[in-house]
Structure 1
Amino acid sequence: MRADNSHHVIAAARQRAADTRKRAESALRRMDKRGLPITFDAVAKQARVSRSWLYNQADLRAEIERLRARRGSASASRPVPDMQRASDASLLRRLEPAAERIRHLEAENKQLREALALALGERRAGDVQRGTRDTPRKKSTAIIGPC
């Protein structure tokens, strides 16, 4: 008569089940942390488990549905994880230097335009004083088409 070794089979099955659950839970955490879309199919692929197994695990199913609902279901864009979202205050702090830089560049552009207008005016006045014409004598016959 053979010895009853069924406890080894049972222990191995329990270990496989625990490993499968661990893979699914860690895949779910990893996907949420990275901001990846949370779907049953995506979690199943990441964890290397079947979708039907995920649907049969009430706690994992509830967590997947909760994360999907929080993100407004699986959308085309990649949602940003909660930990990486910028606050209104931090966005305003980043916006202030940009607005100041724009004001500075606008003022610089205005000064450059005024300097250019002044230089062109002085050049034209010098040309007139030297007696050179500031308009062409002969009209161009070349027709320039749209650019």
Structure 2
Amino acid sequence: MNPRGNPAPLAEARHRHSLDKRARVLTVLATLEKQGQPLTFAAVARAARVSTWLTYAPGVREHIEAAQLRQAHTTPRSATGSSPSPLSLRTELEIARQEIKDLRDERDRLQAALRHQLGQQLDAIHASDSATRADELTALNQDLTRQLQEASSENATSRARITTLEEDLTAARTSLRRMIRDENLR
């Protein structure tokens, strides 16, 4: 809103400015078409100093598309006016195939280099973690080995004690049997 509160003059000014830009686009379009310049939406917008959006707007777009069609129908196929020979087409096709092959090879080389570089970066990031983890696992392994040796030693001691107790029990039973037999004989 303007300071006086009446929006009509602003709306009218915007409408006049819009009509002026559309007229400028159509003038530039006609000029470019006469000059034989390639007609693209971006080229027309650039030459008319308007946004590309405006060139796609209804009422402008149709004019540009019609001019593009006229230009496509009037543009000669080649400088000599004749169509390319089958041999030249085959040659161009072979050149294009070779370029595609070269580009694919380059892409594969770049992908391999990128994989290698990313692997090195990951190794560098995780190298300190791996060393720390290896130290932790080594310490844990040594602790478990010590515990196993202690348990084996305790096991051997317990077996020896069991053997001794079994021998003492056998001797006590034998002695008790003798005592009972001697008491019964008396």
Same fold (TM over 0.5): no
Tell me which protein shows more helix as a share of its residues: 2
Scaled by the length of structure 1, the TM-score of the pair is 0.44
Larger Rg: 2
Q: Taking CA–CA contacts closer than 8 Å with sequence separation of 6 or more, which of the two structures ends up with the larger relative contact order?
A: 1
* TM value normalised by structure 2: 0.35
